[in-house]
């Protein structure tokens, strides 16, 4: 119960920070993920409070079925919202601090990973629904395996994301822009921005980007000038994205690194737990669950409330 009250506080903090920083994309990601965690812990509390002794068939303890379904579905899918927050945040960092330093174009980065995240969410939710409403053990196990597939897919996507994240950091640190970028959504963004480009008489190429290439900007600056792509003298880049100082880039990258590590550890634990079955040694180990799921996700939510993405990309309400 104490855990639920604390995570309630974190949820309200996320909502307030979203409004304060006017960082609206954190509403369906960080705030929504924390709200789903709250619902999951509400389901666990409901499950405990609804225990009753049923004397029929020799007597047995039983709890509300709805509470069981709620806690399974919510606590399994909640981290997918946190992953989406990382994907969007890093996409914005790329656009603001070096779009040429990664193999995946900044236009497509967040889009691809959010779509993959939604797929993980749907698979995990479907598996949780099947497991929670199952009338026999075989069907429940089928639901567990479907959930496991969703969690493993999330883990694979996160590892792929981590690889691109590491590539961007390495290339930016060593000033080695990617020679070729994969941009499957180039046509979509080209059509989306064509009217605005036409008004400004700008010819947009198939590889057009919403932001300027930092390598080009720094190469074109006057000799001896100390101005750089991330200088505070020009707070916005083309496309309206806010520039970042090196300090904020490091802060946000550190935040993503820490958050991604928590999600990977949790995903590995959940995968092993679900593969072991509902009555396996891992599934019935409450301290292990509290340490490798509840604690990690609570730490994630609290950390992202203290170091909110709005510190880098928000615009204060007052």
Q: What is the pLDDT of residue 5?
A: 65
Domain ranges of the chain: 2-53+61-221+234-313
Our separate counts of H helices and E strands in the chain read 11, 2
Domain topology for 2-53+61-221+234-313: Rhopdopsin 7-helix transmembrane proteins (1.20.1070)
User: How far is residue 65's CA from residue 135's CA, in Å, rounded to a whole number?
Assistant: 11
Considering Cα of 180, then 183, then 184, then 187, what sign does the dihedral take?
negative
Task: Compute CA distances 280 → 110, 136, 276, 285, 313, whole Å.
Answer: 37, 16, 5, 9, 44
DSSP strands (E only) in the chain: 52-54, 60-62
Q: Kindly report the pTM of this predicted structure.
A: 0.82
How many whole angstroms separate alpha carbon 162 and alpha carbon 194?
33
Residue-wise over 243-255: b if at least 16 C-beta within 10 A, else e? bbeeebbeebbeb
Q: Both tokens of residue 165?
A: 């994240």
Q: What is the pLDDT of residues 47-66, one digit of tens each?
A: 878 777 667 756 666 667 77
Q: How does pLDDT run across 206-229, given as a tens digit for each residue?
A: 443 434 444 444 444 444 443 444
198 pLDDT tier (thresholds 50, 70, 90): low
- The answer to which of 43-57, 138-152, 285-299 has the lowest mean pLDDT is 43-57
Could you report the per-residue pLDDT of 81-114, keeping only the tens digit for each?
A: 999 999 999 999 999 999 999 999 888 898 999 9
Q: pLDDT digit string (tens) for 235-249?
A: 444 444 567 899 999
Q: How confident is the model at residue 270 (pLDDT cuts 50, 70, 90)?
A: very high
* 3-class DSSP assignment, residue 313: helix
236 SS3 class: strand
């Amino acid at each position: 119960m104490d855990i639920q009250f604390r995570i309630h506080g974190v949820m309200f903090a996320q909502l307030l920070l979203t409004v304060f920083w006017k960082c609206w994309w954190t509403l369906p990601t960080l705030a929504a993920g924390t709200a789903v965690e709250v619902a999951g812990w509400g389901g666990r509390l409901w499950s405990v409070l609804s225990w009753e002794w049923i004397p029929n068939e020799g007597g047995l303890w039983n709890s509300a079925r709805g509470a069981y379904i709620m806690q399974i579905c919510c606590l399994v899918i909640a981290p997918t919202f946190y992953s989406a927050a990382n994907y969007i945040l890093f996409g914005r960092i790329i656009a603001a601090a070096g779009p040429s330093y990664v193999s995946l174009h900044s236009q497509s980065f967040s889009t691809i990973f959010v779509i993959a995240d939604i797929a993980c969410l749907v698979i995990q939710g479907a598996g949780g629904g099947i497991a929670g409403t199952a009338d026999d053990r075989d069907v429940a196990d089928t639901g567990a395996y479907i959930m496991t597939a969703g969690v493993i897919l999330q883990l694979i996507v996160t590892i792929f994301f981590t690889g691109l994240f590491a590539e961007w950091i390495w290339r930016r640190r060593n000033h080695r822009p990617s020679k070729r970028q994969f941009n499957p959504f180039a046509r979509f963004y080209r059509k989306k921005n064509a009217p605005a480009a036409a008004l400004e008489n700008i010819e947009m190429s198939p590889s057009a980007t919403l932001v300027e290439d930092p390598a080009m900007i720094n190469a074109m600056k006057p000799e001896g000038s100390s101005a750089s792509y991330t200088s505070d003298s020009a707070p916005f880049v083309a496309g309206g994205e806010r520039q970042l100082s090196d300090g904020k880039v490091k802060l946000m990258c550190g935040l993503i690194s820490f958050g991604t590590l928590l999600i990977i550890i949790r995903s590995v634990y959940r995968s092993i737990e679900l593969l072991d079955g509902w009555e396996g040694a891992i599934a019935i180990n409450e301290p292990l669950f509290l340490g490798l799921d509840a604690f990690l996700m609570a730490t994630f939510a609290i950390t992202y409330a203290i170091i909110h993405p709005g510190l880098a990309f928000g615009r204060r309400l007052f």
